[in-house]
């Protein structure tokens, strides 16, 4: 019974963990895109 409960708990927790990973991934992608745009605008302004 303990194994079944543990397995059920893992199945419930796993999707939430994946969702959190996607949120962090999207956040970092957006953050780096912003940095790239800032760098590009800085280069254009200097040139």
In whole angstroms, give the CA distance from residue 7 to residue 13: 10
CB neighbour class for 9 (10 Å; exposed up to 12, middle 13-18, buried from 19):
exposed
Whose tokens are 């059920």? That residue is 8
Helix, coil or strand: residue 47: coil
Question: Among residues of the chain, what percentage have pLDDT more than 90?
Answer: 43
In a domain, 28, yes or no: yes
In whole angstroms, give the CA distance from residue 36 to residue 40: 6
In a domain, 3, yes or no: no
In a domain, 11, yes or no: no
The domain containing residue 39 runs over which residues?
20-47
Is the model's pTM score more than 0.85?
no
What total number of domains does the chain contain?
1
The mean predicted confidence, pLDDT, of the chain is: 79
In a domain, 13, yes or no: no
First-to-last alpha carbon distance for the chain, in angstroms, is 69
Whose tokens are 């796993």? That residue is 14
For the segment 1-18, what is each residue's pLDDT rounded down to a tens digit? 556 555 555 556 566 677
In a domain, 5, yes or no: no
């Amino acid at each position: 019974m303990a194994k079944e409960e543990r397995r059920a708990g893992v199945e419930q927790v796993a999707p939430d963990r994946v969702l959190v990973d996607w949120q962090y991934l999207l956040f970092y992608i957006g953050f780096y895109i912003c940095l790239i745009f800032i760098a590009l605008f800085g280069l254009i302004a200097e040139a």
